[in-house]
Structure 1
């Protein structure tokens, strides 16, 4: 059946019969895209200002339309706006309401514009704000890690490969190993913002307009770096959403790694962390249990975010140029990913700030003689022994002593071992020897902390610059037409 919308509305009567049909309910995007309402209103005000600037609207008409749009925004904020299910999306709801309020003048709002460039604009405005919000939440987690790393820059612990004791590190060093992936996530989000910060408004359905519109004016008013380069690409492009979801997916993978470490460290087998209420809850049956639920769910949420990315990419696969109704499905996975990533970041930030480490347990584990096998091999290397030969010597020694590398008969294994090996098995001295760039020595950790603080400063600046663009949306919604 052909489905049409009466732009005059139903006059307060019951919705038309077609609204109850499965086809209409299937086509409606209103349950999802009403989240874009504030961006839709802001974009419409910027569009109205442009129409006045090029002479399509008078200043009086533009002022009345802008005021009417702001009043609708106020209704939406207060919950007084009556969303109509017989109007299939957020754009039509707002335009019809404006026309109800202003009469024929409201019908001029959509001049030189299509819902194709309108929805692309709304999405980019939403995305910019979402990026800034995620960046700030991510920064809070980075700061929580830095606080703990600074407090434990000299706390020894075992480093692991294959979940086996490998070499001694410091807890601060290990926590900073989680900071730097998050810093890369932050840079990726900043890059995503720059690529998304292009206005599609003015592209129309796909071929612009015969009217003398100027896409540069609303682009600048809304804080975009520039308008689109190609009108077909402007309404077809959803790269910004795909890139953003990839960035959130990789961020979630990093969060799952943090969660997994916490789960391991909180187990009785490791017992590096004392139970913290901020990280979990007790068992409904076993009164002695304190489960690291937050860390476990941080792992679990990752699968959901990856699914959101795959969902969008699958929707985009094989689409021809121009707007396709498939693109109606692009918003739900993005909204879902943002909500769950923000919840995970906030929970982990609080949990990590509350962590209490058992330094005695960490020291005992870091004092395992097997952790110093590489130190023994490098001791021989410093005395002219080729590394592969030194590696084999220490391997034989470890096998013959069941890993007790601090045994006293080193010279019986190889005469090139000297009498000065006692310090080799002192974990604090061993860590101080590891002064190489990015290493676990307290000196190297302090250097990393200083570098991390510089990184945080750059991230704060990036957030502030992006927030200036986002703030223009709020300003347009607050101010009278300039």
Structure 2
């Protein structure tokens, strides 16, 4: 829902799973996502009702447990209704990778890599940290990203910068270095996807 908003526009839902606004012609409401979000409250309510019934039992079977059927059946019916529609919504949505890439470049997420670059060139990290901070401030003032600074602009802060800095600041390379469990490296992301797919397949066999 957040990613559909104009502030992000990371994804765009198919018209079959969205509607227009009654007052704002430019707006596209992610109906299915919003309805499922609402249904989540209903399922949580079923869970809390069931837990409250069971919590009050001292031992064995009591007539209270007549109340355990309705929330279980309602939760299952609700989830089974939501999943196929939500899955179809995901299958037909468009992922705006161009907007994602542009957004990734605005947060100076490669600033640490810039400091690491200077450290590898022999500068103490505390000085590299300060130098990178100066560059970030300069970028903010000029409306640039770190990788958009010219080599001359970089060298005004430190002569240790060379043309190889642009490879170090490239977001794709920065991501590739984060290969720890759960990290954003492509190899790690693929591993996580494969793990989820294997889990789903194992559940389907059961």
Interval of TM-score (by shorter of Structure 1 and Structure 2): 0.7 to 0.9
Instruction: Say if 1:315 and 1:372 are closer, same or farther in 2 by CA, change over 3 A.
Output: same
Aligned partners of 2:13 and 2:92 also within 8 Å: no
Residue 412 in structure 1 maps to residue 153 in structure 2:
no
Native 8 Å contact 1:278 1:350 kept in 2: no
| 1:321 partnered with 2:59 | yes
Deviations 1:108-137 (A, max 9, x none): xxxxxxxxxxxxxxxxxxxxxxxxxxxxxx
**CA contact under 8 A between 2:168 and 2:174: conserved in structure 1?**
yes
CA RMSD across the alignment = 2.8
User: Hey, what does 2:201 align to over in structure 1?
Assistant: 457
Cα distance, 1:386–1:332 mapped onto 2, change above 3 Å: farther
- The 5 Å alignment of 1:320-359 reads 320-359=58-97
CA contact (8 A) 1:435 1:443 kept: yes
**Which residue pairs with 2:192 in the alignment?**
448
What per-residue deviation string (whole Å, max 9, x for no partner) do you get for residues 363-411 of structure 1? 3223336232122123234345565654444234313431742323233
Higher relative contact order (CA 8 A, sep 6+): 1
Which contiguous aligned blocks of 4+ residues in structure 1 show a shift greater than 6 angstroms?
Answer: none
Structural mapping, 1:274-285, within 5 Å: 274-285=12-23
**CA 1:435 to 1:327, structure 2 compared with 1: closer, same or farther past 3 Å?**
closer
Structure 1 spans left out of the alignment, 5+ residues? 1-262, 464-482
- Corresponding residue of 2:47: 309
Alignment match of 1:423 (pick from 167, 170, 175): 167
Q: Cα gap change, 1:442/1:389 in structure 2, threshold over 3 Å: closer, same or farther?
A: same
Task: Map 1:61-100 to 2 at 5 A.
Answer: none
The 3 A distance-change label for structure 1 pair 319 and 359 is: closer
What are structure 2's unaligned runs of at least 5 residues? none
- Following superposition, the deviation at residue 437 of structure 1 comes to 4.7
Does 2:136 match 1:398?
Answer: yes
- Three-state SS of the structure 1 residue aligned to 2:6 is coil
Alignment of 1:169-318 (within 5 A): 263-318=1-56
* Counterparts of 2:31 and 2:18, CA distance in 1: 4
Q: How much does 1:267 deviate?
A: 0.9
Contact 1:279 1:292 in 2 (8 A): yes
Q: CA deviation at 1:353?
A: 0.7
CA distance in 2, matches of 1:287, 1:277: 14
Separation in 2 of the partners of 1:278 and 1:392?
Answer: 51
- Higher gyration radius (CA): 1
Contact 1:369 1:425 in 2 (8 A): no
Asked if 1:362 is matched to 2:94, the reply is no
Report the Cα offset of residue 350 of structure 1: 0.8
Residue 54 of structure 1: aligned partner = none
C-alpha distance in 2 between matches for 1:437 and 1:323: 45
Equivalences, count: 200
Q: How far does residue 352 in structure 1 lie from its aligned partner after superposition?
A: 0.4
CA distance in 1, matches of 2:193, 2:124: 35
Deviation at 1:421, TM superposition (A): 1.4
CA displacement 1:33-89 (0-9 Å, x = unmatched): xxxxxxxxxxxxxxxxxxxxxxxxxxxxxxxxxxxxxxxxxxxxxxxxxxxxxxxxx
